[in-house]
Amino acid sequence: MNAGRASLILLIGSLAVTFLMWYWGLPLFFLFLFVPLLPFLGRKTSIRRCPACGWETSGNERYCPYDATPLEVREPNHGDR
């Protein structure tokens, strides 16, 4: 299951719980609105770099848009974000 689908399922579930808590008068119902963001918190990002021109991306690209060279994956340093 990808993060988008998991987020959608969690959103629907959290909206249902939020409505029930609001209906019962419980004050913490807004906490459940943040549940759909959980799949995105632990995502590991990698940086891809073109060995020919040095272009970098953290997206889903597999080839450099400038020279069509396959991108190499490198792990980000602790200072990179």
Could you give the strand order of the β-sheet that contains 47-49, starting from the edge strand earlier in sequence? 56-57, 47-49, 72-74
- Which amino acid appears at position 9 of this protein? I
Per-residue confidence (pLDDT) for residue 70, from 0 to 100? 93
Q: Measuring CA to CA, which residue among 3, 1, 2 is closest to residue 38? A: 3
More confident of the two residues 17 and 27: 17
- pTM value is 0.43
**pLDDT for 32-62, tens place per residue?**
666 667 777 766 778 899 999 999 988 888 9
Average model confidence (pLDDT) for the chain?
A: 79
3-state DSSP helix/strand/coil percent for the chain, to nearest 5? 45, 10, 45
The neighbour count for residue 39, using CB atoms within 10 Å, is 18
